[in-house]
Chain A
């Protein structure tokens, strides 16, 4: 029973928080973009607009859901499922805190699991674009597939850089190593963090790399033909993936659940006034900071052109991340057994 009941409760909590969080990110994004552009943003539904996300969800729930007549029906239905499921599944191995209560499970190849599972999302996008039997969707889907696989390579190198420093693929262990060393990996791995986050923005199809959905040239890209709840899943998947990228950046580079300066300020964190703060608080705070960065990007940068996007991925990020990997490896070699 303990094998099933406790994990099941955790799963439901994780999924609820994740789905509600993804829904509310749309509200926060609209608010943040509005403030960047000196507007007010949504403020009509509920107190100060706080029920906006609920209203949007209800609206999408009862909207008409069209399937194009000459589309590939089963694949058309499968695509949104394939988008949302990998994005949620990653959270099975993300540690929110140091003890077993704060995570679902700890497997020794968690990092491989995350990378493998999140790559499945590409199928959702390209199958959705192809099965719609619409030229805009097809172009959007192809562009997206090319973009995602191009940026997965430098992202992989950036992640390997962290593995070289930590010597483990377990996410719990990676955070523990950062505590033991007394330095978070963003300091020695600043280049890797930069590459990782740029690739992360590209992987989630966000500004300034939102070419697959470029509304000024491709209408809606791969989800042009989608409507109603199926469209909502594409949207939800995008926001859930943003949370995934931010959570991974937090674990890999910013010490996961650790409070700032965990060793230096250890007496401070032991004080009863702050000791009650649960570790997931710090985790979520860092995740929120990364998500804010996403929205800041959207409010600031213009969209890339497709050839620029490919050049950045293959000719800049790839050699930079590869060289950085060997430099970091050399550093670990010289500092040797101390780490």
Chain B
């Protein structure tokens, strides 16, 4: 585990960089507070509604679900790829079967229009 210690130190240093910089700039920066400045920007017009309440397309959700399916599959591919030279033909056919099932689902999603963005 010794090789992970530098990564831990790196994480601490990397986190401290933006935090320290923001703190320093907070101390020396210019600026005079004005309630109008703190309004959300909408091309100069007073916002009529909160952005938190804005509805958005269901397709973003669909994309997220598809991503989970394919990304979990990628996770299965990594150990397979590392061991591929030892698994040889068995591993190749095994992965063909696995990908075949996935491609069937992919074609299904495509045919049902899940990949189409209107």
Given A11-B6, A142-B60, the answer on whether A70 and B82 have CB atoms closer than 8 Å is no
B33 to chain A, nearest CB (A): 9
Interface size class of A (residues with CB under 8 A): 35 or more
How far apart are the CA atoms of A130 and B54 in the complex, in Å? 11
Contact mask for chain B residues 28-72; partner A; CB cutoff 8 A; 1 contact, 0 none: 111110010111111100010011101010011001101100110
Within 8 A of B (CB), among A153-198: 153, 156-157, 160, 163-164, 167-169
On whether the beta carbons of A107 and B7 are closer than 8 Å, the reply is yes
Residues of A within 8 A of B66 (CB): 314
On whether the beta carbons of B74 and A156 are closer than 8 Å, the reply is yes
Given A135-B54, A160-B77, the answer on whether A70 and B84 have CB atoms closer than 8 Å is no
Q: Which residue of A lies closest to B23 (CB)?
A: A229
Within 8 A of B (CB), among A296-339: 306-307, 310-311, 314-315, 318-319, 322, 325-326, 329-330, 332-333, 336-337, 339
On whether the beta carbons of B81 and A333 are closer than 8 Å, the reply is no
B6 touches which of A7, A137, A164, A319 (Cβ 8 Å): A7
Q: Is the interface of B mostly helix, strand, loop or mixed?
A: helix
A107 touches which of B4, B60, B64, B103 (Cβ 8 Å): B4
Given A157-B74, A224-B41, A333-B89, the answer on whether A307 and B14 have CB atoms closer than 8 Å is no
Q: Other CB < 8 Å A-B pairs besides A8-B13, A84-B14, A229-B21, 11 of them?
A: A7-B6, A11-B6, A15-B14, A19-B17, A65-B26, A69-B35, A92-B6, A92-B10, A133-B40, A156-B77, A318-B106
- Chain B interfacial positions (CB closer than 8 Å to A): 2-7, 9-11, 13-15, 17-19, 21-22, 24-26, 28-32, 35, 37-43, 47, 50-52, 54, 56, 59-60, 63-64, 66-67, 70-71, 74, 77-78, 81-85, 88-89, 92, 95-96, 99, 103, 106, 110, 115-118
- Chain A interfacial positions (CB closer than 8 Å to B): 3-4, 7-8, 10-12, 15, 19, 60-71, 77, 80-81, 84-85, 88-89, 92-93, 104-107, 112-113, 130, 132-139, 142, 145-146, 149-150, 152-153, 156-157, 160, 163-164, 167-169, 219, 224-225, 228-230, 233, 306-307, 310-311, 314-315, 318-319, 322, 325-326, 329-330, 332-333, 336-337, 339
Please name 23 pairs of A and B residues whose Cβ atoms are closer than 8 Å in the assembled complex, sorted by A: A3-B2, A62-B29, A64-B31, A66-B31, A69-B38, A84-B17, A88-B17, A92-B7, A104-B6, A105-B7, A112-B78, A113-B7, A130-B52, A135-B42, A139-B56, A146-B59, A149-B71, A153-B74, A160-B77, A164-B84, A307-B118, A311-B116, A315-B110
